[in-house]
Amino acid sequence: DVKVTQSSRYLVKRTGEKVFLECVQDMDHENMFWYRQDPGLGLRLIYFSYDVKMKEKGDIPEGYSVSREKKERFSLILESASTNQTSMYLCASTPGQNTGELFFGEGSRLTVL
């Protein structure tokens, strides 16, 4: 089975702190994604990567950056957390072919105070 692991299920941070959300997948997938999910807004794509050291902006990249130094790991970074970044963050991966099936991690619920 595909396993996408997000390092932290729950985090509480203060405004202005730097936050790292880590995601690791074990199926050698080329593509990795970071979404955030908010009530009434659904899943929104922040960034995605289709290869090591490659990154592409999604629909809401402002306030975020990403890092993909190894194929299996995709990190989301909040340089200076703000209260409007309180959300559920979901990492996903998929193989290179266009299957459309995203494999999601269990999510990281971030609260910024």
Partner 1 sequence: RKEVEQDPGPFNVPEGATVAFNCTYSNSASQSFFWYRQDCRKEPKLLMSVYSSGNEDGRFTAQLNRASQYISLLIRDSKLSDSATYLCAVNTGFQKLVFGTGTRLLVSP
Q: Closest by alpha carbon to 6, among 29, 27, 22, 28?
A: 22
Q: Which of 17, 22, 73, 104 binds partner 1 (CB under 8 A)?
A: 104
Per-residue DSSP letter, 83 = G
Stretch that binds partner 1, among 14-22, 39-47, 68-76, 79-87 (CB under 8 A): 39-47
From CA 97, how far away is CA 26, in angstroms rounded?
Answer: 17
With contact defined as beta carbons under 8 Å apart, do 107 and 100 qualify? no
Stretch that binds partner 1, among 16-24, 66-74, 79-87, 104-112 (CB under 8 A): 104-112
The first and second tokens of residue 57, run together, are 């902006």
Question: Closer CB to partner 1, residue 10 or residue 69?
Answer: 10
Residue ranges that bind partner 1, judged by CB under 8 A: 31, 35, 40-43, 45, 48, 50, 58-59, 90, 94, 98, 100-102, 104-107
